[in-house]
């Protein structure tokens, strides 16, 4: 009876069920660490709880597949053919999300191949690198503090007044959009601005609102590291 149970629980006679359980448990623990680091370092608006759970479950699935395949080429071809039928239609806008998916799958694969040292060291290196990059704000490029939008009468003198106000509060600015509204009687301006003092966006909006005929003046804070 014990021998039959051993064979039933082991996909490979040379692979005891205790080793299978250890591998799957380790895949769960390491992928949970990766998922937790993603939660801590995530920036932006597109946070998804299902994505976090998919990281953990994906690692367990990849580990299970590697355990089932073992050194058997026929099993590997069979599983490959089965996976080819499945079509994944989920799209990820952030390449960083895709990297976390690959990391979880890589950990699961390493654990499934019983390369525990590679799984542990690889997870530690990935987690450490993700934390350092997040704390150091590596790759950030904050050229502008915000977006200014307003409507004014379509007159050259008003355009000069806008530039005068921007020159008082901004280190630099760039016109990113200009369109006519109300059949050409009004013009809508959109500027990216870099403020001399990031706290001065309130007075900037007040002075722009005081321009003759100005309306709909708004200032949108933005961070280049986050989705808008």
Q: Are residues 110 and 152 in the same domain?
A: no
Task: Give the pLDDT of residue 127.
Answer: 94
Q: Which structural domain, as residue segments, surrounds residue 103?
A: 2-135
Residue 140 belongs to some domain of the structure: no
| pLDDT for 77 beyond 60 | no
User: What Cα–Cα distance (Å) separates residue 19 from each residue in 6, 42, 57, 116?
Assistant: 12, 34, 19, 11
- Poorest-pLDDT segment among 41-50, 117-126, 173-182: 41-50
Distance separating alpha carbons of residues 193 and 170, to the nearest angstrom: 6
Dist CA 118 CA 110 (whole Å): 7
Do 110 and 184 lie in one domain? The reply is: no
Considering 28-37, 64-73, 93-102, 153-162, the range whose residues carry the highest mean pLDDT is 28-37
Asked if the structure places residue 65 within a domain, the reply is: yes
Q: What pLDDT does 4 receive? A: 40
Number of domains in the chain: 2
pLDDT bucket at 130, cuts 50 / 70 / 90: very high
Domain boundary at 135, 160, 185, which? 135
Confidence band, pLDDT 50/70/90 cuts, at residue 211: confident
Mean pLDDT of 27-34: 94
Q: How confident is the model at residue 222 (pLDDT cuts 50, 70, 90)?
A: low
Residue percentage of the chain with pLDDT more than 70: 78
Are residue 112 and residue 159 in the same domain, yes or no?
no
Domain co-membership, 73 together with 172:
no
129 and 153 assigned to the same domain: no
Q: Which of 97, 118, 96 is nearest to 109 (CA)?
A: 118
- pTM reported for the whole predicted model: 0.60
- Averaged confidence pLDDT in the chain: 80
CA 117 to chain centre: 28
């Amino acid at each position: 009876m014990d021998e039959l149970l051993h064979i039933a629980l082991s996909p490979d006679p040379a692979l005891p069920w205790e080793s299978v359980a250890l591998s799957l448990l380790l895949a769960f623990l390491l992928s949970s660490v990766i998922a937790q680091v993603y939660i801590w370092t995530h920036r932006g608006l597109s946070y998804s709880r299902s994505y976090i759970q998919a990281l953990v479950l994906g690692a367990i699935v990849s580990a299970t597949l590697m355990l089932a395949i073992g050194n058997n080429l026929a099993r590997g071809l069979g599983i490959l053919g089965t996976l080819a039928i499945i079509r994944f239609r989920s799209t990820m806008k952030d390449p960083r999300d895709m990297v976390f998916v690959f990391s979880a799958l890589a950990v699961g694969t390493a654990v499934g191949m019983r390369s525990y040292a590679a799984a542990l060291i690889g997870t530690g290196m990935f987690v450490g690198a993700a934390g350092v990059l997040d704390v150091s704000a590596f790759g950030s490029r904050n050229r502008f503090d915000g977006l200014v939008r307003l409507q004014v009468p379509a007159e050259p003198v008003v355009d000069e007044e806008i530039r005068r106000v921007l020159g008082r509060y901004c280190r630099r600015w760039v016109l990113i959009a200009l369109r006519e509204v109300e059949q050409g009687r009004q013009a809508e301006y959109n500027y990216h601005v870099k403020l001399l003092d990031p706290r001065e966006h309130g007075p900037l909006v007040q002075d722009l609102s005081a321009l003759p005929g100005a309306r709909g003046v708004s200032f949108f804070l933005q961070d280049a590291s986050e989705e808008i």
